[in-house]
Chains A and B, each alone.
Chain A
Amino acid sequence: MTNNSDNNRERKAVALVSGGLDSMLAVRLIQEQGIHVEGINFFTGFCVEGHTHAIRKKDRDRPKRNNALWVAEQLGIKLHIIDISEDYKDIVINPKHGYGANLNPCLDCKGFMVHEALKWMQKHDFDFLITGEVMGQRPMSQRKDTMPVVSKESGAGDLLLRPLCARLLPETKPEQEGWVDRDQLLDISGRNRKPQMALAKKYGFTEYAQPAGGCCFLTDANYSSKLADLWQARGEKTYEIDDIVMLKVGRHLRPKPSFKLIIAREEGETNFLKGYRKKYISLNTISHSGPIALIDGETDSDDLELAARLVARFSSGRESEFVNVEIRQKNGESKNIDVVPFRADEIPQDWYV
């Protein structure tokens, strides 16, 4: 039972803010009902948010911003960005509900994020949670039969309100208690974006991010195949944050199961990979201009020569008789060798990850 003073106090909601239009609209709908809203944005390690743009020099002039921060500023709310990348590993490695089209564990992911947001809510004395979910919009986590799974498995239960499709779902506590008026909530469903765009127009949101396929690298087929290759090569499904950052950078070639080469494709990537020379054996061409490459895995001297020949292939000396390559150990010790660059037709296609 709640007493009168409790009934009269300002209610507070925490919103999962991805940076996309739907969570932006969900927040505004709830703000309009006089609720104080703050946002949470989770860093999983797989967030797209312009990482490639951040590294590649040619993309540097493109406008780049963190959409979640931008959205928070437009809405006038605080945004708490929380690093969940360590605990998130278990979601990626052992998803109870399996993967989507690629290595995307969307249903487990949503349940985990709502669970983490619930913990934050309880710690900071907020009253309920909101998300920008729309029934039927996503094939795994936003279906009529899976949305209750998220509510239940996250532990949020009836404290989880989805303002954009609330009228299609059972009443939640914020509605039952009169904190929010259910009649002012919406009943949007399906993949058609017109209702959201009309609502954006009503609220004067003329600019918003429209990520294709979500904001997570795990929904990307190329990225997922690189992660699958990593797991296969290691013989176990594990990763560190550096591993998954590296999957976003450079050209990856695996000549043998025991190691792969990460070869920079341009100057920005070269500079980025240079920052990892204390963690990986690195190669770079001395006699000719060329990219830096890192070795991920275990190598013997024959492997290093093979790696050097590959790096030479991607240098300006690719047609030369010999290319001089510096091989630098993690401790900074280095030696130089002359190698014959691979010819293009000597590199098997299945080396490319």
Chain B
Amino acid sequence: MSEQTLDARNLLCPLPVIKTQDRVENMKPGECLKIICTDHGAINDIPAWSRIYGHEILSIDEQEYEIVIKLIVGDK
């Protein structure tokens, strides 16, 4: 499975979602996007956005200052 990485560190809500939205637009169903962010709001926002659009959250790894979220692009 091909994987892309999005560096959304130091971006505040809703920019991590906007960057995710823009990146996913150019990806194919089944591809994996790894998003690294520092705004802990992304833990709720990126899954909420993914549910709305039918993308699957593979994992959420919450560390002290960084969060790594992996999603699988759903059908468009």
Give the B-binding residues of A (Cβ under 8 A): 41, 43, 47, 49-51, 53-55, 60, 64-66, 68-70, 72-73, 77-83, 245, 271-272, 275-276
CB of B25, distance to nearest CB on chain A (Å): 11
Q: At the interface, yes or no: B21 with Cβ under 8 Å from chain A?
A: yes
- For residue B17, CB closer than 8 A to chain A, the reply is yes
Could you give 9 example pairs across A and B, Cβ below 8 Å? A49-B41, A50-B13, A51-B13, A54-B13, A66-B41, A66-B44, A81-B18, A83-B18, A275-B9
Is A69's CB under 8 angstroms from B15's CB? no
Q: Which 9 A-B pairs have the closest CB atoms?
A: A275-B10, A69-B48, A54-B39, A65-B44, A66-B45, A64-B41, A51-B12, A49-B13, A54-B41
Chain A min CB distance to B19 (Å): 9
Instruction: Give the complex CA separation of A41 and B17 in angstroms.
Output: 12
Do A54 and B17 touch (CB < 8 A)? no
* Distance from B53 Cβ to chain A, minimum over Cβ atoms (Å): 7
Return the contact of A245 from the options B12, B49, B51 (Cβ within 8 A).
B12
Q: Which residues of B contact A54 (CB under 8 A)?
A: 12-13, 39-41
B1 interface hit (Cβ, 8 Å)? no
Nearest-CB residue, chain B, relative to A276: B10
Are B14 and A49 interface neighbours, CB within 8 A? yes
**Known contacts A43-B18, A54-B41, A245-B12: does B65 contact A271 (CB below 8 Å)?**
yes
Q: Cα distance A64–B40 when bound, in Å? A: 8
Contact indicator A73/B13 (Cβ below 8 Å)? no
B38 touches A43 (CB 8 A): no
A254 vs B45: C-alpha distance when bound (angstroms): 36
Q: How far is the CB of A41 from chain B (nearest CB, A)?
A: 7
Chain A residue nearest to B17 (CB atoms) is: A81
A245 to B51, CA, bound (A): 29
Name the B residues within 8 Å of A83 (CB-CB): 15, 18
Instruction: Give B51's nearest chain A residue, CB to CB.
Output: A73
Compute how far the CA of A275 lies from the CA of B37 in the bound complex, rounded to whole angstroms: 12
- In the complex, which residue of chain B has the Cβ closest to the Cβ of A51? B12
* Closest residue of B by beta carbon distance from A64: B41
Chain A residues with CB under 8 Å of B9's CB are 275
The answer to whether A53 and B41 touch across the interface, beta carbons within 8 angstroms, is yes
- B14, A47: Cβ atoms closer than 8 Å: yes
Residues of chain A within 8 A of B38, CB atoms compared: 271-272, 275
B48: chain A residues at CB < 8 Å are 65-66, 69-70, 73
